[in-house]
């Protein structure tokens, strides 16, 4: 397994294990968050959520039992940047930012799948450690 794939598996394991401290440790605050179901034309022009306090990230829906990983695709170059967010100077090749596109299924307490979520994660390496810097919920499908 690759470093990014292992990172994501450990991230989901911390969430499933209800280890909120470990789970929020997978982020590098401040974190930009976009939820597909909450950002539509009614929210046009509003600022995106930027979180310093990550306690809300560990919230689990009442019907939620666990999450399974359906797919993880690594992005070779999720955003052309030198330092993670600044465009590279003209004529210089930008360094690749680590990123993932994932699909997960949420399961309820009766053992039934109830939701599928496709997300994009943009990561940064800070103090030698990978962490989530941007989380974009691309779409959510109720099952």
Distance CA 79, CA 98 (A): 9
Q: Quote the pLDDT of residue 58.
A: 82
Cα(102)–Cα(108) distance, integer angstroms = 20
Place of tokens 């053992």: 111
Calculated CA dihedral for residues 128, 131, 133, 138, nearest 10 degrees: 140
**The total number of residues written for the chain in this structure:** 143
Give the residue extent of every domain in the chain: 3-142
Residue range 85-114: average pLDDT?
A: 79
Task: Identify the band that residue 134 occupies on the pLDDT scale cut at 50, 70 and 90.
Answer: very high
Where residue 11 falls among pLDDT bands split at 50, 70, 90? very high
| CATH architecture under which domain 3-142 falls | Roll (3.10)
Range in 20-24, 80-84, 100-104 with the lowest mean pLDDT: 80-84
C-beta separation of 113 from 142 below 8 A:
no
pLDDT over 70 percentage in the chain:
75
Residue 132 has which token pair? 């989530």
Place of tokens 């209800």: 18
Rounded to whole angstroms, how far apart are CA atoms 130 and 98?
9
**Distance (Å) of CA 111 to CA 67, 114, 143:** 11, 9, 13
Per-residue confidence band for 120, with pLDDT thresholds at 50, 70 and 90: very high
For the stretch 31-79, pLDDT in tens is 988 876 554 555 555 666 777 777 877 888 899 999 999 999 888 644 4
Higher pLDDT, 102 or 2: 102
Q: How far is CA 92 from the centre of its chain?
A: 28
């Amino acid at each position: 397994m690759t470093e990014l794939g292992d990172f994501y598996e450990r991230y989901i394991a911390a969430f499933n294990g209800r280890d909120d401290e470990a789970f929020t440790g997978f982020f590098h605050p401040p974190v930009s968050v976009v939820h597909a179901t909450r950002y539509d034309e009614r929210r046009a022009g509003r600022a995106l959520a930027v979180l310093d306090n990550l306690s809300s990230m560990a919230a689990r829906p009442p019907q939620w039992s666990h999450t399974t990983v359906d797919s993880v695709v690594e992005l070779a170059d999720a955003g052309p940047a030198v330092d993670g967010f600044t465009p590279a100077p003209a004529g210089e090749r930008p360094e690749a930012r680590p990123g993932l596109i994932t699909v997960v299924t949420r399961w309820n307490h009766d053992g039934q799948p109830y939701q599928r979520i496709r997300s994009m994660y943009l990561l940064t390496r800070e103090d030698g450690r990978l962490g989530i810097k941007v989380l974009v919920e691309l779409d959510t499908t109720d099952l």
